[in-house]
Structure formats: structure tokens, C-alpha cells
């Protein structure tokens, strides 16, 4: 039977805007032309901040003194988990070489990029965890220079906990600048930073658009839209926990979709009845975001069985995917499209967002169909190399020359010809593309 929508979204989340793109492009052009002075002007306009841009060692130490020890311990716990997981990722990628033919060797090397720029949001929420996820991962990958940029608060500066965390995680530069101007500063190498080879980290639509425009000139972690989450639950799931998990993700923003996919109508109805009550108890800003997200973007989908549930989930390709069902091993083996997977009631998206060790910079808007989230691999270039004896180059040269001529690339063919003539004088080779 076809899936049944018990709740259907009224609005489809949009990630592209011609107006946003024009605004961002103009800011990037202005900063590239005007340098640090232009970046400061935009910071004064948008951040409402005219204080020190480059955080000094004295300011880092002063910020650290303002962070309570309990929070420092929590940050250290999260940092250790993220670092260990990133180290595991790094160890899973090995350099290698192999002899393809006798005397002809080819290999692979993973080389870290030289400079990474990490954006850490600090507007509506102070994203301490984003500093951990980005700077730690870049440092474990072996990046030479890691820069962190975060928006300051008017008359105050960057949140002390963000400064403390960025320093703990190995940032070489910490810059008090947000939005497009912050991204531009890292990309263009302003305020003593080297030009970033890779930009990473979440942000609002202007930050996301700046990264999109700069992609190609620099690498980026991914194209990002509003965060989204999907819960797969069967009749044995706890409706209270399912509802809490949906609300917990809906508070990200007014346009953050949350989806429930289930094969049990009674569970769905309990969750739908409970969500508004849970939203009503949130603090005001969180409540407004969650209420709008639930009203306009949330969906509840009833399926016939677990295979239809899994297929529906793969179609949505959610950023975060929670499974609260029996037989978790089946789901781990069956599910194909997600940014990060949370198996069982005993874990939840907020664990991954904050402290469990997996990265929270993840693909949104269905991008999990073709990519995963931020990892050490985003800061590594996988390059290849080859070396051959003269004898080993013989057959490769003959094949390359013929293929090149078939393609009409005579110059390519002659680079093979000249080697054959030098290494094997007096021998005649059939190097034409014709039979």
C-alpha cells in the first residue's frame, strides 16, 4: 500500500535565494578589493563590533579564566571523544603502493591541506561544539595552520567558551568576525591568516552561500541548508522519547524539518499529540523556532512495514537519522542514505551534536544521497604517484601512444614515442591507431 501522510509539510525548505546570492557576492567582492579595512567595515555593520579582531594570547587566557571548571571538563570530554574518533578515521586511510606490472609501481598518498578555515557560529547560540568538531578534526588530519572565525557580540566580543575551546582544539588563529566577512577573511588570508585551502563549519544562509560561491577557489566541507532530522520508530518505541527527539531538533530553526516514519498508527498519534506540549515548555526563542518548524515543515508518515520505512528514509536522505525499533542490526545493514545514524533509544542526535565523538557537520537537504559529513578526509588530498623501470614502461608506452592517436591527441602520443625510441633503439613498434 502507498505510504500515508498523517502530517504533511506545508512548506518545502529552500536553500537557494537569488537575493542572498547577490548580497553575498557583493560583500565578497568588496572585501577582496578592500582587504582588511573592508572586512572591518562589514564587521562594524553586521556584527555591530569594532573591537580587536585578532584574539591575542592574553585575551585567550582571560577568556579561559571566565569559563567554569565544570564546563571546561565537559569541553575536554567532548574534545577527547572527537579527537579519538578522528584519529580512527585517519588510521583507516593508508598510503600504499603496488606493482601493477613487473617494474611499474603506482601508489597513493594522503597529504593534508596546508591551511583550514573553521567557522564557528556564535549568534543565536554559542556553538562551542562546532569549534570542537572543525578545529579538532583539521588538526588530527595534520593541517599545518588552523584558523577559527566566530562572530563577536556587540561590545563584548567572542564568547569566552568558544575562545577557550578553539585554543584547546589547536587553533593557530582565532578571529572575532562573523558572517560573510569572517568567511572572506579566512578565504582571502586576512589578519595574519594564510589563505584557507578548505573552509568548514556550519552557519546561516549567508555563510552557506559564501562557501558555495567560493567553492572551486577553495575547498569546502559541503553545501549546507537548514538542519533536518528523521526518526524511524516501530510500535515498541517510547512515544515520549520520540516526541522529545523531534522537538529537540526542531528548535534549531523555524525552517528545520523533522520527520517521523513509522509502521504503527497508535505511536504516530501519541507523538503528534505530545509534541505541541513539549514545545510549549521551551524557552521563548527555542519555542518559536520549534513551533514554526513543526507547523510548517514537519511530517509524520505511516508505512506498511519496515522495508517501506527504510525505503522512505533513504528517499529523504536525512542529515540525522534515529532508529528506535527492534533488530537494530537489520537497520544498520539496510539503511543507505544518511549523514549520521543513531541506533536505539540509548543514543540521540544531541549526543552526536555535542560530545559522543562523531562529527556534527553533516549533509543537509538530501545531500546524504551522495556524501557523508565532515571528517579528517575533508582536510586530506588523496594523490597518486608512479615510477617505472625502462623495461616496464614499454607496454604502457605502446598502449598510451595508440590510445592517444585514436583520440586525436598526437602530442600525447609523441611523449610515448620519444621514450620508446630512446629506451629501445632499433626496434619497430606499431604505434598507429588503426588495425
What is the b/e burial string over 355-373, where b = at least 16 CB atoms within 10 angstroms of the residue's CB? bbbbbbbbbbbbbbeeebb
Please report how many Cα atoms fall inside a 13 Å half-sphere around the Cα of residue 67, on the Cβ side.
Answer: 26
The residues pairing with 268 across neighbouring beta strands, listed in sequence order, are none
Question: What global pTM score does this model have?
Answer: 0.92
Nearest to 137 by CA among 333, 433, 370, 357: 357
Q: What φ, ψ does residue 290 adopt, rounded to 5°?
A: -65, -40
Q: Per-residue pLDDT tens for 69-92?
A: 999 999 999 999 999 999 999 999
Exactly one of 209, 319, 407, 412 is catalytic; which is it? 319
Nearest to 185 by CA among 25, 37, 21, 19: 37
Exactly one of 320, 407, 412, 427 is catalytic; which is it? 320
Q: Which CATH class is domain 18-221?
A: alpha beta
Assess contact for 303 and 230: CB atoms under 8 A. Answer: no
Q: Per-residue pLDDT tens for 256-310?
A: 999 999 999 999 999 999 999 999 999 999 999 999 999 999 999 999 999 999 9
pLDDT of residue 127: 87
How far, in Å, CA of 51 to CA of 255, rounded? 33
Asked if pLDDT for residue 132 goes beyond 80, the answer is: yes
Percent over 90 (pLDDT), the chain = 91
Assess contact for 390 and 423: CB atoms under 8 A. Answer: yes
Which residues have CB under 8 Å from 267's CB, separation 6+?
233, 234, 235, 237, 239, 242
- Is 320 one of the catalytic residues? yes
Nearest to 260 by CA among 280, 239, 279, 276: 239
Give the sheet arrangement for strand 96-101, strand by strand: 96-101, 104-112, 380-388
Q: Per-residue pLDDT tens for 212-251?
A: 999 999 999 998 889 999 999 999 999 999 999 999 999 9
Does the domain at residues 226-372 carry the CATH identifier 3.40.50.1980?
yes
Looking up cell 536553500 gives 15
Number of other CB atoms surrounding residue 73 within 10 Å: 10
Arithmetic mean of pLDDT over the chain = 95
**Helix 18-42 to helix 205-214 angle, to the nearest 10 degrees?**
90
- Is 319 one of the catalytic residues? yes
Strand pairing class (299-302; 173-176): unpaired
Amino acid at each position: 500500500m502507498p505510504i500515508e501522510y498523517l502530517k504533511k509539510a506545508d512548506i518545502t525548505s529552500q536553500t537557494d535565494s537569488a537575493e542572498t546570492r547577490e548580497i553575498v557576492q557583493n560583500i565578497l567582492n568588496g572585501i577582496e578589493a578592500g582587504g582588511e579595512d573592508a572586512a572591518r567595515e562589514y564587521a562594524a555593520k553586521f556584527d555591530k563590533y569594532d573591537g580587536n579582531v585578532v584574539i591575542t594570547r592574553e585575551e585567550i587566557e582571560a577568556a579561559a579564566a571566565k569559563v567554569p571548571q565544570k564546563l571546561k571538563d565537559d569541553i575536554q570530554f567532548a574534545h577527547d571523544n572527537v579527537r579519538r574518533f578522528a584519529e580512527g578515521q585517519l588510521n583507516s586511510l593508508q598510503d600504499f603502493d603496488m606493482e601493477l606490472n613487473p617494474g611499474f609501481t603506482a601508489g597513493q598518498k594522503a597529504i593534508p591541506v596546508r591551511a583550514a578555515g573553521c567557522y564557528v557560529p556564535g549568534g543565536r547560540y554559542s556553538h562551542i561544539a562546532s569549534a570542537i568538531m572543525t578545529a579538532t578534526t583539521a588538526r588530527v588530519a595534520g593541517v599545518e595552520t588552523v584558523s577559527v572565525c566566530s562572530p563577536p557580540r556587540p561590545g563584548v566580543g567572542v564568547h569566552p567558551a568558544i575562545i577557550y575551546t578553539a585554543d584547546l582544539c589547536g587553533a593557530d588563529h582565532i578571529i572575532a568576525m562573523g558572517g560573510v566577512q569572517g568567511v572572506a577573511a579566512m578565504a582571502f588570508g586576512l589578519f595574519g591568516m594564510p589563505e584557507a585551502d578548505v573552509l568548514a563549519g556550519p552557519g546561516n544562509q549567508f555563510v552557506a552561500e559564501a562557501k558555495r560561491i567560493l567553492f572551486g577557489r577553495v575547498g569546502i566541507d559541503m553545501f549546507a541548508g537548514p538542519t533536518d532530522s528523521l526518526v524511524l520508530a516501530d510500535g515498541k518505541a517510547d512515544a515520549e522519547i520520540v516526541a522529545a527527539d523531534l522537538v529537540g531538533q526542531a528548535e534549531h530553526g523555524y525552517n528545520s524539518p523533522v520527520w517521523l516514519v513509522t509502521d504503527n498508527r497508535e505511536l504516530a498519534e501519541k507523538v503528534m499529540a505530545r509534541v505541541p506540549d513539549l514545545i510549549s515548555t521551551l524557552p521563548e526563542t527555542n519555542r518559536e523556532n520549534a513551533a514554526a518548524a513543526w507547523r510548517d515543515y514537519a511530517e509524520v508518515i505511516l508505512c506498511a512495514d519496515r522495508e517501506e520505512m527504510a525505503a522512505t528514509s533513504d528517499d529523504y536522505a536525512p542529515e540525522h537519522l534515529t532508529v528506535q525499533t527492534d533488530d537494530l542490526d537489520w537497520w544498520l545493514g539496510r539503511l543507505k542514505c544518511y549523514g549520521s545514524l543513531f541506533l536505539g533509544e540509548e543514543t540521540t542526535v544531541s549526543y552526536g551534536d555535542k560530545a559522543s565523538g562523531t562529527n556534527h557537520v553533516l549533509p543537509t537537504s538530501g545531500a546524504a544521497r551522495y556524501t557523508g559529513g565532515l571528517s579528517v578526509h575533508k582536510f586530506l588530498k588523496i594523490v597518486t604517484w608512479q615510477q617505472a623501470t625502462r623495461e616496464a614502461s614499454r607496454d604502457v608506452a605502446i598502449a598510451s601512444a595508440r590510445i592517444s592517436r585514436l583520440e586525436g591527441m598526437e602530442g600525447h602520443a609523441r611523449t610515448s614515442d620519444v621514450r620508446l625510441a630512446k629506451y629501445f633503439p632499433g626496434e619497430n613498434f606499431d604505434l598507429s591507431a588503426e588495425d
